[in-house]
Amino acid sequence: MNTAELLVHCLENEGVEYIFGLPGEENLELLEAISQSSIQFITTRHEQGAAFMADVYGRLTGRAGVCLSTLGPGATNLMTGVADANLDGAPLVAITGQVGTDRMHIESHQYLDLVAMFAPVTKWNAQIVRPSITPEIVRKAFKIAQQEKPGAVHIDLPENIAAMPAAGHALKQDRQEKVYASFKSIELAAQAIQNAQNPLILVGNGAIRNHAHQALTEFAEALNIPVANSFMGKGVIPYTHPLALWSVGLQLRDHINCALDHTDLMIAIGYDLVEYSPKKWNPQGTMPIIHIGQNSAEIDSSYIPIVEVVGDISDSLNEILKRTHRQGKPAPYALQFREEIRADYQRYALDNEFPIKPQKLIYDLRQVMGENDIVISDVGAHKMWMARHYHCLQPNTCLISNGFAAMGIAVPGGIAAKLVAPNRRVVAVTGDGGFMMNCQELETALRAKTPFVTIIFNDGGYGLIEWKQHQHYGHSRYIEFGNPDFVKLAESMGLKGYRISKTEEFIPTLKTALEQSVPTVIDCPVDYRENLRFTQRAGDLVCRI
């Protein structure tokens, strides 16, 4: 057995199902070892796509997704997806090939110090410098990647070390027991909630990662406290619930901001500052905050909790609930804003103007998708509309990259989602800009037998940047581009392609696409004049209480 074979044995011991990546000269030993294992290697068309697949796999399963590249340009291509996973709290293990240790002291072909390069975008990383330490490095990598807050780790394997004889065995996984919050913090939180007149819950992705959706819903119901979610906290409470105030996080003022204005206690549950800066909702730092999470609160002048309840989230909520005696109904203002939010959402149900408005496109998408189906949103103007208008009944059914916010994640993410949940329908929602960054992975999707639908919001430009430029300068610059024929592009890969020519076609086309046995692409012209119209409405928004 050589080091590469020992490493793969350790990966099998960690329960690794897939490795996403590209072959290279410096990872030949590892590829050979993988071919003799139970692990399925998914050959991708770009290392960035591989890292995004591992990223989404980790976010959906809670187990570290694994991606592989060779050295040099392969490793640098991997970095964007690794950084995305790290900032978004998705467990990921990245493995890179490397020159032999006998070449590292001199200038060498394709050599970069990858341990130094990956250090800023990972929780931990290391190079395997001798065969015997391989089991320890692999076990530590997975333990750190999957511990709260999850993130990315990196293992660098020099080619000469990979080929060396190795003796050893995979290490047993240590059981991670739950950590419970202190009784003092629970008592203080209960007292603060009991005394508040207009409390509001802000829930983030940490509540999803820690499977706290049921406990949170029961907590909100028993205490009659409205709930808003970050972009990454969708589905923690069903959007149809009377206490659900839907998503917060738009940079523009929205109906939910009216509720925030009148909140006298923010109960942040599983919330991470990277999801939505507290400076947007607590600019003066004067709003009292209770922080409930697996980890202590990050330091921010606008996020200084009066109480930190650190421990298992479900247990913390249950214990606070036992000690809180709060009577009455939610503040009337919160219920009023909920009705305004719902009315704004419903107003597009019968809108058949073409090109299709983004609100209408997303409204119709929601009508077709089941409560357990999965949507992966790319980054761009459409992401803002998805965040505002695509609502969820279950956690992890709408995945939005919002910590690192990397374009190009949707198509690779669709592959990973379909591998994780082959019996659930999967839709990747992307702009034409984001689509062209990783559209080559649709060939990977065909080869991997992962039929999902890609919906392209086609506006012929970088719509989000155009939106921002108009807000700042009243005009746009350098945002327009041309596109290929997306239908022919799909067909050239052996996929199905559809183009929407009128709004009424979208729902039947989507239903047809979801029934196909191969990946499909829907090219949908979108009316992004709605971006500036929304900016105007947000500027004119008056909170009525």
Distance CA 405, CA 419 (A): 23
> Is 3-162 assigned to CATH 3.40.50.720?
no
Any idea which fold 347-537 has? Rossmann fold (3.40.50)
What letter represents residue 521's amino acid?
Answer: V
Q: Give the pair of three-digit tokens for residue 300.
A: 């921010």
The domains of the chain are located at: 3-162, 183-336, 347-537
Are the C-beta atoms of 362 and 386 separated by less than 8 Å? yes
Cα separation of 373 and 513, whole Å?
A: 14
Residue with token string 């071919």:
35
- Residues pairing with 281 in the sheet: none
Contact 126, 137 (CB under 8 A): yes
Judged on CB neighbours under 10 Å (0-12, 13-18, 19+), 319 is buried
Cβ(401)–Cβ(432) below 8 Å: no
Please name the fold of domain 183-336: Rossmann fold (3.40.50)
User: 3 burial class (0-12, 13-18, 19+ CB within 10 angstroms)?
Assistant: buried
- pTM (2 decimals)? 0.95
The one-digit pLDDT tens for each residue of the chain (545 residues) are 999 999 999 999 999 999 999 999 999 999 999 999 999 999 999 999 999 999 999 999 999 999 999 999 999 999 999 999 999 999 999 999 999 888 888 788 888 999 999 999 999 999 999 999 999 999 999 999 999 999 999 999 999 999 999 999 999 988 888 899 999 999 999 999 999 998 999 999 999 999 999 999 999 999 999 999 999 999 999 999 999 999 987 766 677 777 788 899 999 999 999 999 999 899 999 999 999 999 999 999 999 999 999 999 999 999 999 999 876 666 666 777 788 888 888 999 999 999 999 999 999 999 999 999 999 999 999 999 999 999 999 999 999 998 899 999 999 999 999 999 999 999 999 999 999 999 999 999 999 999 999 999 999 999 999 989 998 999 999 999 999 999 999 999 999 999 999 999 999 999 999 999 999 999 999 999 998 888 887 655 556 65
